[in-house]
Structure 1
Amino acid sequence: MSQQQASTPVSPLRRRMLDDMAMRGLHEDTQCNYIKSVRNFAAFLGRSPETATSEDVRRFQIHQADSGVQAPTIKNTVSGLRFLFNVTLDRPDLSRRLVLARYAQKLPSVLNVEEVGRLLEAARGPKYRAALGVVYGAGLRVSEVVGLRACLTTVDL
């Protein structure tokens, strides 16, 4: 935690959660994210999260969805609140109420036959055309292409 945060008064609940996270060796960034999640939940409730009910958890998640909070942020919030409920408060009943948001599935863009033909024709020479054809045909990633080495051997016939 930063120097400024360490000098401000800390609630007993936050202190207990910080101790629990430190005991488990959670990274400082993770600790900050978890504390932020609990702070947002407490601000939504208008009271300590210790007094939360399953209906409060449900309303908070509906509020997040209605506010346009993105799936990765909801996932981080769920992780922080699960830690709070399972470890710090020993209230797994509330943790089970948390729902993860689904990520929108992104499909990769694929070149059509004409685009592949134009790509191969744009190569400077037969050597580059052959290399592009192999790379495309094998479905290699850029990082894999960079690692390729030409192995030219002569075969005596």
Structure 2
Amino acid sequence: MRKAFIALAVVIAGLLVALFLFNQEPKYAGVSLSQKDYQHVQASKKQVKAILSDLKLFNTHQDKSLTELKKDADALLKSNQPDLGPHDYNKLKEALYGPYGIVTSAENAKARNYQIDVSVASSLRGNFETLIVKSISSINKNSIQRETISNQLIKDLNLDQILYQIGSSQE
């Protein structure tokens, strides 16, 4: 009888350990997120990285580079639209397509036949920050956690370094 209780206790302890290990919420930047929110952060990271990559490969003489940039910008807008309020969605859209937006800057560069240099690339930093912050605000309304996640995304993407590379490689 005693061996049966010990065996039962071991089985229960094993189940509790397994439940604890497999039922943890994922974390990003030290912030616990639901599985859906974590996947959203990873998708946003991938989408912003794609836009950065499009800018890095941008060539005013190739229509394809502008088309790819627009496609990735639209994908980011589409994936965030359901979870953002109208004000935040408009800010996100403005960072991409506004008068000084990322896509608009690329369109202007193509129309005027100039590459994206250091000054243009550095002026886009605020727009990229808006993309990241608004993408995160669609899943997290806590301003401190949102800032923590956004700052980590900026670090993980090497945003400043990549923008510098974009500008300096095309001068």
Shorter-chain TM-score bucket reads under 0.3
Q: TM-score, normalised by structure 2?
A: 0.24
Q: Which has the larger radius of gyration?
A: 1
**Greater helix content:** 2
Q: Which has the higher contact order (CA 8 A, sep 6+)?
A: 2
> What's the TM-score, normalizing by structure 1?
0.26
